[in-house]
Amino acid sequence: MRRILLPLDGSPLSETATPFAQALAAGGECELHLLSVWDVLPEETEAVGADNALALRDHGLRYFRAYLSNISEKLEGCSVSCEVRCGHPALEIMLAAAELDVDFIVMASHGRRGVSERRRGSVADKVLRASTAPVLAVGPRALTDTSPMVLRRLLVPLDGSAESESSLDLALDLAGSLRAEIALLNVVPHLFDHYGPGFPQDYLPDIDRRRQDAATAYLRGLQSQHPEAIKETHVLSGLPQVEIPAFLERSPYDLVVMASRSRYGTHLWTVGGVADVMIEGRVPVVIVPPTAE
């Protein structure tokens, strides 16, 4: 890992992502690049006039430079650089990620919208959906009391597809740099829940058991390939968007690493389904896009 991008907007909420970015950067020789974007709003120019809007922008840029400088002084054990841009926040974050060729974007999932509002349509949501680099999304309930942050237990949800397995290589790299352990989780939907009616009721319990046995064998096969990193496997039954968040509520994991695609369709797994629910939980989630395999 060479470079991590940490967007900050000046709010305490955005800063909740900082300990996680610092923990990732401390795992190896990695630069932590802090970015703030002065949001350009056309209606402000119309309201105050071009000259005043320009003066306001210059004041905002100076503020963000001082703000990032203060943040960087608190980040010990990391190589830190700072940048302030002017424009649309989501677009500038994506441009910076591409220009810097970052390995990770780490950001809070609500930005300036606040925890009481829906995340959809926020800067973080746009970045999550458009990024070609993995995004570590830190939700409003993420635990950030530990200082320094320690990421030692990683959970990787898999469904048996190549799409979901695209997250495993990244998780293995993270486990190596962070000296962490990996647990694999497969949630097997009940046949009736997934495919709907059409099977005789007497067949369903037996078929479900066989599918669970196959999932167990699948996870243990992956574990046998990487026994030094993968320490646990878990198979659950039910709907992934229900069972994965519930599992995280009762299990002590520090980070989830999951792909943005699933064999069960975008309405279940990708951003907009399971990921949306999980990002609102207490455990930060790394979303691995298809191009980041």
Taking 80 as the threshold, does the pLDDT of residue 271 lie above it?
no
Question: What is the helix (H) or strand (E) element at residue 33, kind and residue range?
Answer: strand 31-39
Taking 60 as the threshold, does the pLDDT of residue 58 lie above it?
yes
Q: Examine domains 3-138 and 153-292 and report if their fold is the same.
A: yes
Q: Which residues contact 236 (CB under 8 A, 6 or more apart)?
A: 185, 186, 187, 188, 243, 247
pLDDT at 69: 96
Task: Grade residue 116 by pLDDT with cuts at 50, 70 and 90.
Answer: very low
pLDDT at 202: 55
* 128-143 pLDDT tens trace: 888 999 999 998 877 6
pLDDT at 114: 40
pLDDT at 198: 55
* 244-260 pLDDT tens trace: 989 998 998 999 999 87
* 199-234 pLDDT tens trace: 555 555 778 889 999 999 999 999 999 999 999 999
pLDDT at 200: 56
CATH for 153-292, among 2.40.10.220, 3.40.50.620, 3.40.1190.10, 3.30.428.10?
3.40.50.620
pLDDT at 70: 96
Task: Grade residue 144 by pLDDT with cuts at 50, 70 and 90.
Answer: low
Task: Grade residue 82 by pLDDT with cuts at 50, 70 and 90.
Answer: very high
Cis status of the peptide bond prior to 12, with omega within 30 of 0: no
Write down the domain spans for the chain: 3-138, 153-292
Domain range 3-138, CATH architecture: 3-Layer(aba) Sandwich (3.40)
With contact defined as beta carbons under 8 Å apart, do 268 and 262 qualify? yes
DSSP assignment of 147-163: SS----EEEEEE-SSHH
Taking 60 as the threshold, does the pLDDT of residue 118 lie above it?
no
Q: What is the pTM of this model?
A: 0.85
Task: Grade residue 111 by pLDDT with cuts at 50, 70 and 90.
Answer: very low
Instruction: Identify the DSSP state of 290.
Output: G
* 173-203 pLDDT tens trace: 999 999 999 999 999 987 765 555 555 555 5
